[in-house]
Chain A
């Protein structure tokens, strides 16, 4: 099972790879100079429009629908950027281990809310 550090690292790596993949392999390529339509379109203009129209209502269409996101490289890039920075939240919010020893109330300055926050906090018990 991935621990906190592992999850953070995984998010960092996947975030950066999303950025790299979308920038270099999905988004429109740089052209020096741009001499063709290729340089003004996302690289993947998927053939899915035809495929999807074939299987519009079958469950087979759904994986293709997912593939359609590949034609939105900037979204992938932005998601990558966001994932990289969200890893900081993961790192800070996830508990170290599945034990509460690390945050005994006597060390804390906030004794009275301790129990409540444990119940309420989204990262508190996961």
Chain B
């Protein structure tokens, strides 16, 4: 059984947010829902400031607070480490969201079909796209991926992609539909500077293990004991003085 994890090299990240875009396209997430988010931070006071970027996917914690609190087991942890949401079982209580220290859960506040950037039923749009499949029809995302019980048996569960129903929680899946076919998550694949790496943490030959060996690493909010599976190398964790750039402008 592999032990999937992600390594994010903060020395390399330049805040282009291509990963956010790739994630949205791959997983069909509706507007304002950012499974992958890249913080653009400013540390310190002018003129002694430092600007840096920090991608924030779901941490796929080993001691996941969201899995513990889910009243119906819609949020679960797979043995390979992926923390997934069964959107067919979710009742929309949003307990996982308040339990998560990282803020990675997104609720479908309204019907996702009405919340896309483009109206895919629009005639003009269809003329331009020549009737190409609108993103929410991506057939990969409708398939069932995770086994209901460890070791097989039972039904497979609906986990992949976003924008399925209103009133359920969805979040980063590490692109389970791609990982199951031996591919990388969309954000990793689309990073132009290879700041994001994905692989088996148990395999000493994998890219992630090698990068972790080469550089000192930290994990976000490690002190809270959530045991995240996302490792950051280079750079430092955000502190009390760290602000988002957007917020800095707002404060002027």
Question: Contact residues of A with B, CB < 8 Å?
Answer: 28, 31, 33-42, 45, 47
Contact = CB atoms under 8 A, between A and B. Distances in A.
A37 B79 contact: yes
B58 interface: no
For the residues of B in contact with A, the DSSP-based class is loop
B66 to A, nearest CB: 10
B139 interface: no
Interface residues of B, number: 21
A103 to B, nearest CB: 48
B68 A37 contact: no
A53 to B, nearest CB: 13
A54 to B, nearest CB: 16
Given A39-B76, A40-B73, A33 B153 contact: no
Q: Of A28, A36, A37, which is in contact with the most chain B CB atoms at under 10 Å from its CB?
A: A37
Contacts of B75: 40
Contacts of A36: 77-79, 150
B103 to A, nearest CB: 20
B149 A34 contact: no
- For the complex of A and B, 6 pairs with smallest distance between CB atoms: A40-B73, A40-B76, A33-B63, A45-B154, A34-B67, A36-B150
A37 B210 CA distance: 29
11 contacts: A28-B73, A31-B68, A33-B62, A33-B64, A34-B77, A36-B77, A36-B150, A37-B147, A39-B67, A40-B76, A45-B153
